[in-house]
Amino acid sequence: MPVLVMKFGGTSVANPDRIRRAAKRVGVEVAKGYDVIVIVSAMSGKTNELVGWVGETSPLYDAREYDAVVSSGENVTAGLMALTLQEMDIPARSWQGWQVPVKTTSAHSAARIVDIPPANIMAKFAEGMRVAVVAGFQGISPEGRITTLGRGGSDTTAVAFAAAMGAERCDIYTDVDGVYTTDPRISPKARKLDRIAYEEMLELASLGAKVLQTRSVELAMRFNVKLRVLSSFEEQSDDAGTLVCAEEEIMESKVVTGIAYSRDEAKMTLLSVADRPGIAAAIFGPLSEAGVNVDMIIQNISEEGRTDMTFSCPTEQVSRAENALKKAIEAGQIDYSNLVADTDVAKISAVGIGMRSQSGVAAQMFRTLSDEGINIKVIATSEIKISVLIDRKYMELAVQALHDAFDLDKAG
């Protein structure tokens, strides 16, 4: 029988009633003739509670025991889902990560999936099991210890299973009914997309759209796994939600597919840095080692032999960046006259695969922001993306104006 993977997030399994609702959706797919692998998250709020208990018990905790505790939320959900399906006369069995096994690296709380041998689950399907309910977010290390994959790891688990089992599709059930041209809470004109290319979804996910976890999209693109994003709380049809697929499966589309934003951005500028070969490596090497996620980078000549270096990073990492650069000065790796941090900025991005073949997108974006009196602080581009940093107070205005300028409320 064909295999289908269905993933249910925390809000979709928040209590026994919602688990029953999710189980009914699984039953519909079983009735269509699928063998189904269900990936479940912990009940909404449970992982945060478990993390809190770990911190309360041991502030300097052992990462191996942290994983043992926080992975337990998914185990509870998997067991309850399997029991619910059994009450519906659907042959189902729950699986923890080590039972599959989901083989991962040893990086506790941030492990990466290495392999998912299909033999165990496929053997049970052959014996008559129709649904394997797998605890998401977890696996087993080469040392035989439980590992977790980091926040959003259940999405990654689902896509990895779809790739390993040769599934027809991977359906991600969440609290939204698909991927939108922008955040509907900011622009009432936001439109749900029927299809979106992997590359576009990857850009949107990395730029702040929280519908899918970035690693799951990367994995789907690598193994050509079709992803469908649907709502757990609405009636479904065969064409419900948004399909994330290869660019070749999408007919002619708009030049710009969506407008993304991130409000928690900071702009950091090193003033009067020595302009010499290797200076960029001397600056960004220590930042990388400190775990600072640098995004946009601009270098300007300030005076002869000196340069100004500007970069953006998440607001929460500003202190880490400042400490790393201070240590680099003390070690004699770099020197600069001043470090200026602006933590009151937002990043706005226009994303679309159509940018590859059509010019004028940047000009239209900059003109639209200018007409609204919005000053651009930093610009960065890629083949299918244009991002700018602006004052945070103009974030919603910028999103609405750009959404209108590119006619994203209209299909085709």
**Starting from the edge strand earliest in sequence, which strands make up the sheet with 169-174, in order?**
92-95, 131-135, 35-40, 3-8, 169-174, 227-231, 242-245, 195-197
CB 202 within 8 A of CB 144: no
Give the dihedral of Cα atoms 182, 186, 189, 193; nearest 10 deg.
20
Closest CA relative to residue 192, chosen from 248, 249, 234, 223: 234
Distance (Å, whole) CA 49 – CA 28: 33
Q: Flag whether 74 is marked binding.
A: yes
Distance (Å, whole) CA 145 – CA 111: 11
Distance (Å, whole) CA 69 – CA 48: 11
Closest CA relative to residue 118, chosen from 161, 83, 75: 161
Q: Flag whether 178 is marked binding.
A: no
Beta pairing, strands 297-303 & 338-351: unpaired
Q: Flag whether 410 is marked binding.
A: no
For 88, residues 6+ apart whose C-beta sits below 8 A from its C-beta are 23, 24, 27
- 14 forms beta bridges with none
Distance (Å, whole) CA 87 – CA 106: 37
Q: Flag whether 211 is marked binding.
A: yes
Distance (Å, whole) CA 159 – CA 127: 24
Q: Flag whether 9 is marked binding.
A: yes
CB 256 within 8 A of CB 404: no
Q: Flag whether 261 is marked binding.
A: no
Reading the block at residue 218, the tokens are 């990367």
Q: Flag whether 174 is marked binding.
A: yes
* Binding site residue list: 7-10, 47, 74, 174-175, 180, 185, 210-211
* Binding site residue list for substrate: 47, 74
* Binding site residue list for ATP: 7-10, 174-175, 180, 185, 210-211
